[in-house]
Amino acid sequence: MIAQMIAPFGSWKSPITSDVIVAGSISIGGIMFDAEDIYWLEGRPTEGGRNVLVKRSPDGTMSDITPQPFNVRSRVHEYGGGSFLVVAGIVYFVNFSDQRLYQQLPDQTPQPLTPEGNRRYADLILDKKQNRLICVSEDHSNNGEEPENTIVSVDIKTGQIEILVKGHDFYSSPRLSPDGTQLAWISWDHPNMPWDGTKLWLGHMEEDGSLGKIISVAGNTDESISEPKWSPDGKLYFSSDRMGWWNLCFYSKKGVIISLFPLNAEFAYPHWVFGLSTYTFTSANQIICTFSQDGRWVLASLDVQKRQLSILDTPYSNIASLDAYNGQIVLIGGSPTEATAAICLNMKTGETLTLKRSTDLKVDPGYLSIPQLIPFPTENGLTAYAWYYAPQNKDYIAPEGELPPLLVKSHGGPTAAASSNLSLRVQYWTSRGFAYLDVNYGGSTGFGRDYRQRLEGQWGIVDVDDCVNVAKYLVEQEIVDGDRLAISGGSAGGYTTLAALTFRDTFKAGASYYGVGDLEALAKDTHKFESRYLERLIGKYPEEKEIYQARSPINFTEQLACPVIFFQGLEDKVVPCNQAEMMVEAIKEKGLPVAYVAFEGEQHGFRRAENIKHALDGEFYFYSRIFGFEPAENLQPINIMNL
């Protein structure tokens, strides 16, 4: 056994480098069957963030389907999703650069279906009877006014577009019954977000393809419906949180909503993107589903007739994108020790086949930190939750008596969730000697509707309190160094970061990734999907303008007393770059250390390998200068003003 070296936290040399992370890492999503063939999307940082449709044939052969320069990615709601469909070997997809729909026949070049223009498309289904696609459309041709969202049909031969459903602010999930006679869909209106309140509709499809009688099935402004699907025998299923948790239900012939298996667990994800799939049918009476309890996802089989739920033993703690065919299940799965991968489960034989991993990097377990779920006390006698990662590197120990620096991660959304899934970006920090906390603050998904609603009217307060309280909790337990506490977050998590740094004195440094500094500016200048989101999180604007001003870090830079680094995509339409630039100027004028790293060609979130690398190393370099440790690697310096 080789003796461990003694070195300060932060200065440990790690094999989990930024070069290794970006060189071998991809994102995987949207997996589905087309008969025996399996398709999924790969987001490839080394190809400029291009999303490529990949096919796996039954003989194990894998091939790229969409050629350069096509990028399979929708911009509906800006977050996209639901960007492709494959039926009988024919591929339909949305191309990112022009947002047109394309058709690609086997072994042929993609051909445009829709004309050039200002429409965007997502959530594609095929209407075989009418030889058309049905999908969500977002029309941006109305001269600066809010884009119009509708459900449309697109004739596969002519490309002719017809509006089937309109009148609401947002639509998702058009789903056609097996016999083609009924169309289900979801709608919602400002100021609701889809996890606040949605409605499920059911329309009769006439012989000419138009919609006849339409009825409201379920949902209201205080009930969130998601993921409508048709069973093989023509019953309409969906998830509803009417009882406080997203549980599976179905619509009976008598018009009654029946809950299949009431459980204090979430059988759905929040609808940030299209194409989510947390359950699938193997037969009319069997559903394979995934649900989350205490932040962990499990796979289960639900007997519809007996109303019995059976847990299926898998190693995965994060599960998504379920689909089924002929006794096989595909999913996207990961665990604290296994990176996200495309998985195929044979329900007949019990065999598990890994189709593609998000990274081929094999990490010695001695460098991996295993997350521990920490319930911690927070304001008003409540409990909140976080995943804690201790520093871990088999080659090093710290000098006796030294406590590690702590990086607190505030996730985006804010209606999102911290995951226990293996993240090499997290392990980058822990293997160098940082402790790491991924916080599921009040407002996060995965703990029921009441937990989500803790943030209503309290954004910038509850989330900040929870991030501060969990850091103090670890300091009080003498687990981390109270003088080396940092907080980092992106988007909404960037706002929480900036608010924590401005309105509290707990953290000694921070990093904002495309974060919000001016809530008023965000209320005035963001995209349609989130343009009224702040009404529930903060209050109506401009009626409650004073609250927006009081919670905007940009207005209180005199209270900021620690260094901050900002990372920003210059083409970000969700949080425009002027948000970061105003904060940087204010902090610079105050004389505090501040850095600004801007990336050409990046939107909301970074997709290019060189930028992901630069941001990761840049944040680490920033903390090394602020907290006074020497990195083991020779990192590219960044310009830190006022240092």
Among candidate residues 562, 419, 573, the one with its CA nearest the CA of residue 497: 562
The predicted pLDDT at position 1 comes to 59
User: Residues 6 or more apart from 265 whose CB is under 8 A from it?
Assistant: 245, 247, 291, 292, 293
User: Residues 6 or more apart from 255 whose CB is under 8 A from it?
Assistant: none
Half-sphere exposure of 207 (CA within 13 A, CB side): 0
Q: Domain extents for the chain?
A: 37-276, 277-362, 365-627
Evaluate whether 236 touches 45 at the Cβ level (below 8 Å): no
Among candidate residues 317, 475, 354, 500, the one with its CA nearest the CA of residue 414: 500
The predicted pLDDT at position 23 comes to 83
CATH hierarchy code of domain 37-276 = 2.130.10.10
382/466 Cα distance (integer angstroms): 10
Q: What is the pLDDT of residues 294-310, one digit of tens each?
A: 889 999 999 999 999 99
Task: Map residue 503 onto helix, strand or coil.
Answer: helix
For residue 637, say if its preceding peptide bond is cis, omega within 30 degrees of 0.
no
Q: Please state which CATH class domain 365-627 belongs to.
A: alpha beta
In terms of phi and psi (left: phi > 0; alpha: psi -120 to 50; beta: otherwise), the region of 346 is beta
The predicted pLDDT at position 579 comes to 85
The predicted pLDDT at position 604 comes to 85
The predicted pLDDT at position 102 comes to 98
The residues of the chain scoring below 50 in pLDDT are none
Residue 148, strand partner residues: 139
Q: How many residues does the chain have?
A: 643
The predicted pLDDT at position 124 comes to 98
Q: What is the pLDDT of residues 6-57, one digit of tens each?
A: 999 999 999 999 998 888 789 999 999 999 999 999 999 889 889 999 999 9
DSSP-assigned states of every residue in 10-68: T----S--HHHHHHHB-EEEEEEEETTEEEEEEEEGGGTTEEEEEEE-TTS-EEE-SPT
The predicted pLDDT at position 572 comes to 87
The predicted pLDDT at position 250 comes to 95
176/529 Cα distance (integer angstroms): 25
Evaluate whether 414 touches 444 at the Cβ level (below 8 Å): yes
CB atoms inside a 10 Å sphere around CB 210: 13
User: Residues 6 or more apart from 173 whose CB is under 8 A from it?
Assistant: 123, 184, 185, 186, 226, 227, 228, 274
Classify residue 539 as exposed, middle or buried by CB count within 10 Å of its CB (0-12, 13-18, 19+): middle
